[in-house]
Structure 1
């Protein structure tokens, strides 16, 4: 296949021809480090994993309800549905380096602005809209573009590694936010968390800057001349809507299970040290699922890899109500669920590149990520209500059906349209 190139630019395939695939990780380590830090310090991470700490403080200080405080996440996801594709379009046009740097620099004061809401529900909602708008460029939408620009043979593994940092940051953020609230109050917590995006901005500027004049990346896919389809063309294909639907169904389960995992494990019958042990496995298994799926999609058809995880997780969920309340079974079940939750974002990013190419990659993936985020929020709200009214067997059955349906839909995607050098 011949790819038309703009003068002075080169495609990922051309770069791979000049640089052996086995040297990708070594050659582009700067991009990978920047993406790890960027995803770990993205607006998604900094808000999702701290709201459980500063939320109760806001409730106590202003008398707000739990539902109102956590509605901020829904506001964020709905806004991201629109701002995510916009950030992606800007990254496609102007390059990753410029967008992530500017976005991170703006995200910092936006997070600090939470401390200035003064108890106004309107300003509280506006703060979430502001974060979702200026912080859209710090999400995996843009960072995955940087990975796709450089990695071909090990694209999946690089995507997986770039997202592993979110798990470690999530583990560190909760105790840090708790400490900040305890010593400096909830206002101090917002200011402290607001400093983190500055690290991402510096990383994006310094680690990506030496690479090209366009977006600070060596051998990046040319933003105007890359092989691929436009967002309009993608929208006109059945394949895009199948992918979007499959990802949405998975997101509902992920959003429904992960935020309520402590409640679910408790309702199963675990308590005390066993409960803590089981829940602690979630983070490890999520990282394992992310890396193992990333390794596999470089070697096998990505929809089949995703389907394998989904079928196993769905089957385990059907069996959980009949399992004995024993620690080993609890750890095994949560490990499977965590591994499945860990594989979805990097597999989705990989499939977008293989089915729709690089031309409008960030814009197309921005829509996918936006829909994913909204469905995660809807899943959290829906499953939260179900936990108050429905038996666990029903919740697990619904989850299984959604995962099975998502797997079957992804298997309908067919062969890659832009297979690269696989």
Structure 2
């Protein structure tokens, strides 16, 4: 029966997942493309790398501040009304970066526009629409949607490199924004829907789950919020510093770069495996296992520095966690919060996820600068990861939202 229900969901919803995956990929374009513009901008304007990448900090700040607002908007008007115009605005803002220079202030001002344009592309928008459509196969649907970041990490640097070589950095920004506008915006217009809001913004089905006020008072909400902050802080700290961390552990740079590449492959595998299992196993124990993997990575790097076989195992485990931790937080949030006010409640959790993205590299950098070693970061990751696992593992049984009065 469950298999039949899942099949029906995929028959009617696979295009929605595809469109949401494209939206996720669009939302990551600045992460994977910016590095390729550094050298051309340095050569033309003489800006430092810190100045060039400083614009990315604006996106993190806006994401943390406005994610809860986006969540409220998604509940009120539906994901589609946020995503379609938001994606077009973001593509235009990306094209606008071609107008930068010679003053660094112009660059930062244009990145401020990009940061505001990126607000409607936050995880709440995509995960709410997919979760509302899928129930029996929600875990796998969310996992496939989030593979959009993997596609982005693979293709965006290649496309960007080609465009800069062919058109220069200004033309590349215009072409990149235009290319994504032509591909992503029509796909969202045609296939991206929020089944809760399909008729002039009015919900078309009874919605079950906690109200925003109820959810904000539950221990599960607070545990998921803290776990989201901790797990992204740990994992993003690992990922950003992985190559220099492996250098510190005794590997030469070439070997470190090769081994670090394992993370990308195993993250996709981890994402799909975890998503598949969530539809078939109890969520908290599976989520606990997923978020605890960085603890073992830290232990192995501390206990066996320079051992390539052990480091390979450590990085393999890290990759699985990179793929599974985000899925775990989103999936478990859908099951505990329900869909009545999911956007509002998950907006706060998404803010914690984005805060962790900014904090992780910063903490790892600070500890290294103070000690000249990554040992302090690894020692910190062990209890932090263990606490995260405990928070996920003690969430308890899913609430029976179906037994409560539904919103219409």
TM-score, normalised on structure 2? 0.89
Closer/same/farther in 2, CA of residues 380 and 156 from structure 1, 3 Å limit: same
**Separation in 2 of the partners of 1:304 and 1:288?**
19
**Separation in 2 of the partners of 1:123 and 1:225?**
49
Please name the residue that 2:385 is paired with: 403
Q: Tell whether 2:246 aligns with 1:261.
A: no
- Whether the 8 Å contact between 2:294 and 2:381 is mirrored in structure 1 is no
**Separation in 2 of the partners of 1:126 and 1:188?**
19
- Whether the 8 Å contact between 2:211 and 2:340 is mirrored in structure 1 is yes
Q: Tell whether 2:25 aligns with 1:40.
A: yes
**Separation in 1 of the partners of 2:153 and 2:112?**
22
**Separation in 2 of the partners of 1:225 and 1:213?**
9
Q: Tell whether 2:258 aligns with 1:277.
A: yes
Q: Which runs of 5+ in 2 are unaligned?
A: 404-408
> CA offset at residue 417 of structure 1?
1.9
Task: Identify which of 204, 219, 222 aligns with 2:188.
Answer: 204
Could you list the per-position Cα deviations for residues 363-394 of structure 1 after superposition, in whole angstroms to 9, with x for gaps in the alignment?
22222112211221121122123334432332
Please name the residue that 2:278 is paired with: 297
**Separation in 2 of the partners of 1:420 and 1:252?**
35
Please name the residue that 1:21 is paired with: 6
TM-score, normalised on structure 1? 0.86
Give runs of aligned pairs for residues 134-283 of structure 1, distance below 5 A.
Answer: 134-195=117-178, 196-208=180-192, 214-215=197-198, 222=203, 225-271=206-252, 273-283=254-264
Please name the residue that 1:354 is paired with: 335
> CA offset at residue 104 of structure 1?
0.8
Q: Which runs of 5+ in 1 are unaligned?
A: 1-15
- Whether the 8 Å contact between 1:223 and 1:359 is mirrored in structure 2 is no
Could you list the per-position Cα deviations for residues 78-119 of structure 1 after superposition, in whole angstroms to 9, with x for gaps in the alignment?
101233233332222222222211111111111111122324
- Whether the 8 Å contact between 1:147 and 1:159 is mirrored in structure 2 is yes
> CA offset at residue 21 of structure 1?
3.1
Q: Tell whether 2:75 aligns with 1:92.
A: yes
Closer/same/farther in 2, CA of residues 23 and 223 from structure 1, 3 Å limit: closer
**Separation in 2 of the partners of 1:340 and 1:226?**
32
* Matched positions, count: 400
> CA offset at residue 279 of structure 1?
1.7
**Separation in 2 of the partners of 1:351 and 1:198?**
34
Could you list the per-position Cα deviations for residues 31-73 of structure 1 after superposition, in whole angstroms to 9, with x for gaps in the alignment?
121122221222xx11111222213433343333333332322
